Amino acid sequence: MTSKSVGAGSIVTEARVVGRRMFYRCMRLICRMIAVVAFGLRTEGRHHLNFEGGGMLLSTHQSLMDPVLVGIVSNRRLNYLARKTLFKNPAFALLIRLLDAIEIDRERGGLAGLREMLKRLQGGEWVLMFPEGTRTSDGEVAEIKPGFIPVARRSQVPIVPIAIVGAYDCLPKGEKLPTRKPIAVVVGEPMLADTYMSMTDTALLEELNQRLRKLHARGRELVPAK
């Protein structure tokens, strides 16, 4: 392979990356406007996202809208996890590939996806995870699972708890189309590696559970049930 072909390949790759970044920003802007107009989106604690370097965002999981909701609250680009089955739909697969989603193959343990997630965190990027493991069935916060802990301990990036309130009422599990109801996204103070590296897994889970529940309660104050 000649140096010219290598150079051309690098230019094409760089152009694709730039194109994806521009697509992400456009989608974020459009979705942000829709969320504000259609769902009266209210946010609190966005200043907690003003830090450089890698970060692990751990959010409660209320609906299929959640990845978009957290994405539009953050001014930095997020990396999303997507189970392998989501890539079966060609149109949706194209969309999540354009968003650089990290494919997780649960049947094979998801090791390749976890390695990619660790790589991006160590490279200074942000990754969004839903530690409850699945969407809520009643709008409340479920106990979080420990799957994020090994990656957090290896990457040693800040862990940011986030609570979403109202999305369950808009689009509960089993429904296909959302209804117009208010939504709030509340961002908590980051937990730094210096703090959680000295904690046991049990203590870390308990601390994050408490933080997520407090943020959820605050979200209820912003969008009280009618």
| Domains of the chain as residue ranges with CATH | 3-222 (3.40.1130.10)
CA 208 vs CA 7, 95, 165: distances in Å = 47, 31, 17
pLDDT value of position 189? 98
Distance CA 55, CA 197 (A): 15
pLDDT value of position 105? 82
pLDDT value of position 90? 86
Cβ(76)–Cβ(126) below 8 Å: yes
pLDDT value of position 81? 87
Q: What is the pTM of this model?
A: 0.89
pLDDT value of position 19? 82
Distance CA 195, CA 206 (A): 14
Segment 67-93, tens digit of pLDDT: 999 999 999 999 998 888 888 888 888
Mark the ranges of the chain whose per-residue pLDDT is less than 50. 6
pLDDT value of position 83? 82
